[in-house]
Amino acid sequence: MTWDWQVFLTDDGSGRTYLEWMLEAWRWTLAVAASSWVVAIAVGAVVGTVRTLPGRPVLVALGNAWVELFRNIPLLVQIFLWYFVVPKIFPAFQQVPGFVLVVFALGFFTSARIAEQVRAGIQSLPKGQSYAAMAMGFTTAQSYRYVILPMAFRIILPPLTSESMNLLKNSSVAFAVSIAELTMFAMQAQEETSRGIEIYIAVTGLYALSAFAVNRVFAQIEKRMRVPGFIVSGGTGGH
Amino acid sequence: MKKQLLAVAVAALACVAAQADTLAKVKSSGVITMGVRDSSGALSYTLGDGKYAGFHYEVCQRIIGNVEKAVGRKVDVKLQSVTSQNRIPLVQNGTVDIECGSTTNNAARQKDVSFVLTTFVEEVRIAAKVASGITSITQLANKNVATTTGTTSVQLLRKHERANGVDFKEVFGKDHADSFLLLESGRADAFVMDGQILAGNIATAKNPADYRIVGEVLSVEPIAIMIRKDDPAFKKLADDTVRDMVRSGDMAKVYDKWFVQPIPPKNTKVGLEASEATKTAWANLNDKPAEDYAKK
């Protein structure tokens, strides 16, 4: 077995090298992951919060339904449904570009998991916190905004880090709807060049690098947002 | 995906250990491992239940029949399903002794493996809906063209775009069934792929009459059975088997059985008569790589 890293500098038939193609594919992976992350966080935060609202059983039920729907169907199946089945029922969907579709599919899938974390974060706070907010005369909205959510989000930062790294790796399913991202590059380029091992090593490296970068960013956020004296661990929710 | 990566990694480690003399290995172990494909059209495909069939599967059985005669003992045939990602490493490292799938014989691969005489010549064609009125590749400019990720057709389209200054909007299916679904659902106006794969997909479509294979032959590729490099005794035995089959007319009969007659499991017909290119390959048996075909 001999290595042939020169393969990255050869022309792929359209005037660019495989290296240029791979970097372009990396950009697609990052673009899909970043856009779906925005969708996932926005939807996940809202749905997760809604599921803990006191005295709103309909909203809570809707939130629960959202979570169960999107986390009980395998991701690849969801993408397939959006891509092939939904346009059968609503022909207008045919016009939606694959990128938008995969961003929402991936975003919704992850939002269900984030919603679950947000709910857990909120419910892990001692009851005393919301009672204190009520005693201050806060409305429900105010107590969430100023008391509950700031604490809850700090608590869930570690699982949110893992979830964001997962999202980046899950973006590999985008190849199924014709997005030219890293996984598609790997499958295609290894066929064209017959140098599968070199190609897969490089692609694996880029995935690992990207996921680790996400990890470092979150570690920084965690450090900056830390409230002195507030200790997350410990059953008493102590402060 | 994971499985393929693992196979590649294992293959990389085991590469050094490959044995060159297949006949000696089969003689001592009494086992030969045949690489097969799950869905390479009528060339090699699974019937489910660990059983395989197809044109190349049958040719390989003849070769293995002759191996038995040569080594003078009954040989156990082990089937190993391979993919386009792992087939070359698995042949190189000795996991697979003879690969009976749909591998294109090209110059890059000849550095790593050896090919038996070409038994099938693949023509890359265009499939379109009859109603679309598409009859040539020139009509595909700025249209959605489907093809399958991980095939040479993707590169072919890219080169064609550059050479002729046209622009296709390529959509990539993750497998052939997916690509055909793109055509069926209207996401793509045409599907560019190996002729026998197109024919097979059309044959099993809901309304086969809605689709047809149109236009010029975009590329010609020799497809052959793959064996280890530098194993002259095994190569000669396999080549002779192919030669005898052509001479006796069996090759045409076996071809007819898989590509023209109804085939299991659903008794559908691929409906693809042997092309001129395939007949020429039989008339002048050779193991030239695809690059030699392109020059013509």
Length of chain B: 296
State how far the Cα of B32 lies from the Cα of B71, in Å rounded to an integer: 12
Quote the CA–CA distance of A165 and A213 in Å, as a whole number.
9
Per-window interface: A 47-106 vs B, CB < 8 A: 84, 87-88, 94, 98
Look at residue B3 and tell me if it is in a domain.
Answer: no
- pLDDT the model gives residue B16: 43
pLDDT for position B24 = 94
Which one is predicted more confidently, B8 or B208? Answer: B208
pLDDT band at B67 (very low <50, low <70, confident <90, very high): very high
B174 → closest Cβ in A88, A176, A192: A176
Question: In the predicted model, is pLDDT for residue B294 greater than 80?
Answer: no
Distance from CA of A91 to the nearest CA of B (A): 10
Residue of A nearest to B13 (CA): A1
Q: Which residue has the higher pLDDT, A43 or B163?
A: A43
Distance between CA atoms of B145 and B153, rounded to whole angstroms?
A: 11
Considering the domain architecture, whether residues B110 and B253 belong to the same structural domain is answered as yes
Per-residue confidence (pLDDT) for residue B152, from 0 to 100: 84
Domain, as residue range, for B130: 123-220
Enumerate the domain spans of chain A: 5-225
Ranges in chain A, pLDDT < 50: 233-239
Residue B15 has pLDDT above 90, yes or no: no
Q: Does A24 touch chain B (CB under 8 A)?
A: no
Boundary (domain end) residue, out of B202, B220, B238: B220
The reply to whether B40 and B117 lie within a common domain is yes
- All residues of chain B having their beta carbon less than 8 Å from the beta carbon of residue A201 are none
Q: Does residue B6 lie within any of the structural domains? A: no
Whether B210 and B138 map to the same domain: the answer is yes
Chain B closest-CA separation from residue A80 CA (Å): 10
Q: What is the ipTM of this complex?
A: 0.78
Tokens, residue A144: 């969430």
- Boundary (domain end) residue, out of B203, B220, B237: B220
Tell if the CB–CB gap between A194 and B154 is shorter than 8 Å: no
C-alpha distance from A58 to closest chain B C-alpha (Å) = 38
Residue B266's pLDDT band, with cuts at 50, 70 and 90, is: confident
Q: For chain B, which residues lie within 8 Å of any Cβ of chain A, measuring from their own Cβ?
A: 1, 5, 8-9, 12, 15-16, 84-85, 88-89, 108-109, 112, 149-152, 154-155, 158-159, 161-162, 170-174, 178, 181, 185-187
Average pLDDT over residues B17-26: 79
Q: What is the mean predicted confidence (pLDDT) over B20-46? A: 92
Q: Which two tokens stand for residue B110?
A: 């000849």
- The 10 Å CB-count burial string (b at 16+, else e) for A24-51 is ebbebbbbbbebbbebbbebbbebbbbb
The gap from C-alpha B222 to its chain's centroid, in whole angstroms, comes to: 9
Cβ(B119)–Cβ(B57) below 8 Å: no
DSSP letter string over A153-179?
HHHTHHHHHHHHHHHHHHGGGGGGGT-
Q: CA A115 → CA A70, A72, A150, distances in Å? A: 11, 14, 15
Same-domain pairing of B210 and B225:
no
**When comparing pLDDT for B205 and A216, which is higher?**
A216
Whose CA is closest to B147, among B178, B194, B192, B185?
A: B192
Pairwise CA distance, residues A198 & A6, whole Å: 10
Mean pLDDT of all residues belonging to chain B = 90
Q: Which fold has domain A5-225?
A: MetI-like fold (1.10.3720)
Residue B208 in domain: yes
Give the residue ranges of DSSP H helices in chain B: 2-14, 22-29, 55-71, 87-92, 107-110, 152-164, 176-184, 195-203, 232-248, 250-259, 276-283, 290-295
Q: Give domain status of residue B2, yes or no.
A: no
Is residue B290 assigned to a domain?
A: yes
Which one of A178, A184, A193 would you mutate to disrupt binding with B, by most B Cβ within 10 Å of its Cβ?
A: A178
pLDDT of residue A194: 79
**A94, A188, A193: residue with CB nearest B150:** A188
B28 and B63, same domain (yes or no): yes
Least confident of A212-216, B132-136, B151-155: B151-155
- Grade residue B162 by pLDDT with cuts at 50, 70 and 90: confident
Residues ≥6 apart with Cβ < 8 Å to A189: A12, A18, A21, A22, A199
Determine the pLDDT at residue A45. 97
User: In this predicted model, what pLDDT tens digit does every residue of A39-81 receive, in sequence order?
Assistant: 999 999 999 999 999 999 999 999 999 999 999 999 999 999 9
Out of A13, A175, A191, name the one closest to residue B84 (CB): A191
Q: Residue B145: which H helix or E strand, with range?
A: strand B144-148
Using the beta-carbon criterion (under 8 Å), do A1 and B112 form an inter-chain contact? no
B44 and B191 assigned to the same domain:
no
Nearest chain B residue to A89 by CA: give it. B185
Tell me the three state secondary structure of residue B28.
Answer: helix
User: How many domains are there within chain B?
Assistant: 2
Let me know whether B128 and B202 are in one domain: yes
> Taking residues B282-286, what's their average pLDDT?
95
A123 touching B (Cβ < 8 Å): no
| Lateral strand order in the sheet of B44-48 | B39-40, B44-48, B51-53
pLDDT at A231: 55
Taking the CA of residue B162 and the nearest CA in chain A, the distance in Å comes to 6
The letter for the amino acid at B65 is G
Query: A202 to chain B, minimum CA–CA distance in Å?
Result: 13
pLDDT: which is higher, B293 or B24: B24
Tell whether B225 and B211 lie within a shared domain: no
| CA–CA separation, A138 and A133 (whole Å) | 6
Residue A234, pLDDT score: 44
pLDDT confidence band for B86 (50 / 70 / 90):
confident
Query: What would the mean pLDDT of B2-27 be, rounded to a whole number?
Result: 66
Predicted pLDDT of residue A238: 46
Position A195 scores a pLDDT of 84
Give B85's pLDDT tier (boundaries 50, 70, 90): confident
Surface-to-core class of residue B8, CB atoms within 10 Å of its CB (0-12 exposed, 13-18 middle, 19+ buried):
buried
Polymer length in residues for chain A:
239
Lowest model confidence (mean pLDDT) among A2-11, B55-64, B69-78, B119-128? A2-11
Mutate to test the interface with A, among B1, B87, B110, B149 (most CBs of A within 10 A): B149
What is the arithmetic mean of pLDDT over B44-71? 94
Report how far residue B90's alpha carbon sits from residue B97's, in angstroms, rounded to the nearest whole number: 9
Looking at residue B4, what is its pLDDT? Answer: 64
CATH code for the domain in which residue B96 is found: 3.40.190.10
User: Strands B76-81 and B169-173: what pairing?
Assistant: unpaired
At residue B296, the pLDDT reads 56
Interstrand relation of B169-173 and B144-148 (parallel, antiparallel or unpaired): parallel
